[in-house]
Amino acid sequence: MTSHSLGRFLDQYGGAGSFLSVCLLLILVMFGLPLFVSTFGLLQVTILAVMSIFALSQGFVWGFAGIMSFGQAGFLGLGAYAYAVAVINYGDSTLAVPISIILPMLFAAVMGYFMFYGRISDAYVGVITLTVSVILFQLINSTSGSQYRIGVVELGGFNGIPAIPPLNLIGDPSRPLDQTGIWYATMGGLLLVYSLLRFILMSRFGRVVVAIRENETRAQLIGYDPRLFKLLAFVIGAGIAGLAGCLYVNWAGYISPGVFALTMSAQAIIFVLVGGLGTLLGPILGAVLIQWLINTIGDQGTVDPGLGLGIILVAFVLLFPKGIVPLVQAAIQQALTLRKRNVGSPLPVDADPLQSGAE
């Protein structure tokens, strides 16, 4: 990583003020929103938080590790089905939650090992992740019949698994969470994932991951193994997607093969593009905005949601290619620059208005 790139990285992710501001905002939303919305309204906004976690998995893998994954829905679906099967078999969500995270990570570790240590090019990584997601969809979709079961759980084929028990208090399956409890758990998960990723990006590991994205050859020449760091970043992204799958099941109460569909992977990519690639706040904002639009369009029934997503994607790529967060950053920096000029303060020669802080 060049000294200029490292400086931009530290400016962007080293400041505690922006991190604490986002965390405080998430906490206020977490505890304040239930006071103002009904149970149904809380159900509607819970999916926004779930999709935000899903978007963060895509944003980390793509925006920071430079891995273009078209198959994050595969890990989302694995986490969802892992939770459903585990919670029904054990009758307790205490073990089901970590299983829903660990299983996608193990799957990603095996798949990523062959991709990254096999020296597969970035373009083929995208193709492989997309193909694996399609295979998982077809596999789960063809499991109709009582012979396809894991323990006492029938996978159900295209009908999916209904009546999945929700999260319960740790070690106490007799006390399941209600909708408000699911909201708190989901927002707590979002806050945890955001904080974890900020910590990772400020660590030595995170800096190396970003350095590899910037210049893989240079990072390799100074002694880092890009294959290992890409693999670990890929596994972390899969675990986050698995957590999103677990929370998605708790929001919906059932799961079907549709969670593996290409539409889900496409949504994750759109979330990141709209919010801003290479930021953490961007995927959250993109997920909230796009998922809210999907819900609104779906309720009206006048426009196909897929068509609406396509129009939004084309519009943002053409008009705001950097996304919402970098656009706002540029506007703020420009305003500050004009203010400094008005008061006669000198500006740094190498000031970069688009790289002054992601959150």
CA-to-CA distance for 318 and 312, rounded, in angstroms?
A: 10
Give residue-wise pLDDT tens across range 6-29: 444 444 444 566 888 899 999 999
Q: What is the pTM of this model?
A: 0.87
Q: What is the mean pLDDT of residues 28-52?
A: 93
pLDDT grade for 342, boundaries at 50, 70 and 90: confident
Residue 346 has a pLDDT of 55
Q: Phi and psi (nearest 5°) for 172? A: -135, 85
Fold (topology level) of 3-318? ABC transporter involved in vitamin B12 uptake, BtuC (1.10.3470)
User: Average model confidence (pLDDT) for the chain?
Assistant: 87
Domain edges within the chain:
3-318
Q: Is the pLDDT of residue 320 over 90?
A: no
Q: Which residue type does 169 have?
A: L
Kindly give the residue spans of alpha helices, DSSP state H, lying in 117-178: 122-141
Give residue-wise pLDDT tens across range 179-210: 999 999 999 999 999 999 999 999 999 999 99
Q: What is the DSSP string of 45-80?
A: HHHHHHHHHHHHHHIIIIIIT----S-HHHHHHHHH
Is-contact 50 289, C-beta < 8 A?
no
